[in-house]
Amino acid sequence: MDILADPLRDSINPPPRYQLESDSEDEIGGGIYGSTKIPKPSSPSPPTAFKLDGHIDDLIGRPTVIGIGTAGSQFGRGLPALVDSQGASIEMGEYQIGTAYCISASQLYIHISSKIPSPVLWSLSRWLSNTFKPTRLAIIDVYPVPAYITPFSVSHLSPPIRYLGTSTPGLALSSNQPKRISSIEPFSPPNLLGTQTLSSALLPYTQVCLLSGNSSLKEEAVLMLLPWPRISVPAPKNLDEVTLHEGLTSPEHNIWSAEELAAIADAVGMQGVSFSSQERVSQRAKRANVARD
């Protein structure tokens, strides 16, 4: 009787060794037993070093807005102070991944311009929090409209801005009130932020710090999400010249209208911004072109 073909044989455990004829296929490393080699543990990657190249004394302990990727680039062009300010560069190893700007005596704007490798998203979130010690935090990023689940029909050409915030017992509500603006809606379950960008780690890290009492924030943090017309490019595993700006559109592209950016500015409490000089021609056509790229 062929033991291996016996339908009554235990399908989970292999038959006893003595019931099988020994041949080259059944030796250790072959046949039904497979390989017994123990995989070598992967060597841990060296710790990632972040540094700030520039004056930092004026950048610590302020209300802070962090703009990520294309959303941060287009929003930042509406800040007059960025025109004359060189800012302090944020570096990861040998690459510049962002810039910190002192907008006014009471505001800080940080633009993270690069796609951050997924293994260092949490450590970068911790470094940003410990380095700048923001008293109020707002994050600007995007959400992929094609992947967003909603019980209502939403046009892909005019989707809403969405927001998500921390929730900490005993902490004052943020002075930024996106729910008061009709064009901004909550980022609701079952949708998830995923692991594509820095915001997917920065907001949860901020929530952990708030709950543990180890945070410089005086009120809740908020994440503002502009509609993005396509699925986001996954975060790279490593940072190099090829992946430095992978998935980011040209900084000259105006994907969102001046009204949308102004609504974001109002929601995050950013003052002294002007988007009237940005091109406002057919945002629907531009989103359609981006979705096709």
Q: Are strands 50-53 and 63-68 parallel, antiparallel or unpaired?
A: unpaired
Average pLDDT over residues 110-128: 92
Take residue 289 and report the two structure tokens written for it: 């072109």
Take residue 230 and report the two structure tokens written for it: 């396509």
Predicted confidence (pLDDT) per residue in 39-60, tens digit: 555 545 555 789 998 877 778 8
- The helix (H) or strand (E) run that includes residue 290 is helix 283-292
pLDDT of residue 180: 47
Confidence of residue 289 (pLDDT cuts 50, 70, 90): low
Confidence of residue 280 (pLDDT cuts 50, 70, 90): very low
pLDDT of residue 168: 73
The mean of the pLDDT values for the chain is 77
pLDDT of residue 105: 76
Average pLDDT over residues 229-242: 78
DSSP 260: H
Which one is predicted more confidently, 90 or 173?
90
Confidence of residue 30 (pLDDT cuts 50, 70, 90): low
Residues across the chain:
293
Q: Are strands 161-165 and 222-228 parallel, antiparallel or unpaired?
A: antiparallel
| pTM greater than 0.95 (yes/no) | no
Which one is predicted more confidently, 237 or 60?
60
Distance in angstroms (rounded) separating the CA atoms of residues 248 and 67: 13
63 in helix, strand or coil?
Answer: strand
Confidence of residue 86 (pLDDT cuts 50, 70, 90): confident
Distance in angstroms (rounded) separating the CA atoms of residues 267 and 132: 21
Amino acid at position 216, single letter: S
pLDDT of residue 282: 45
Average pLDDT over residues 200-213: 92
193 in helix, strand or coil?
Answer: coil
Average pLDDT over residues 11-23: 61
Amino acid at position 279, single letter: E
DSSP 197-253: STHHHHHHHHHHHHHHT----SS--EEEEEEESSPPPPPPSS--TTTTTTTPPPTT-
Burial class (CB in 10 A: 0-12, 13-18, 19+), 48: middle
Amino acid at position 157, single letter: L
How many CA atoms, within 13 angstroms, populate the side-chain half-sphere of residue 155?
5
Place of tokens 């064009």: 183
pLDDT of residue 192: 86
Predicted confidence (pLDDT) per residue in 94-115, tens digit: 889 999 998 877 889 999 988 8
pLDDT of residue 20: 58
Cα–Cα distance list, 209 to 105, 129, 135, 217 (Å): 26, 9, 13, 9
Average pLDDT over residues 239-254: 66
Which one is predicted more confidently, 131 or 155?
131
pLDDT of residue 85 exceeding 80, the answer is no
183 in helix, strand or coil?
Answer: coil
pLDDT of residue 281: 42
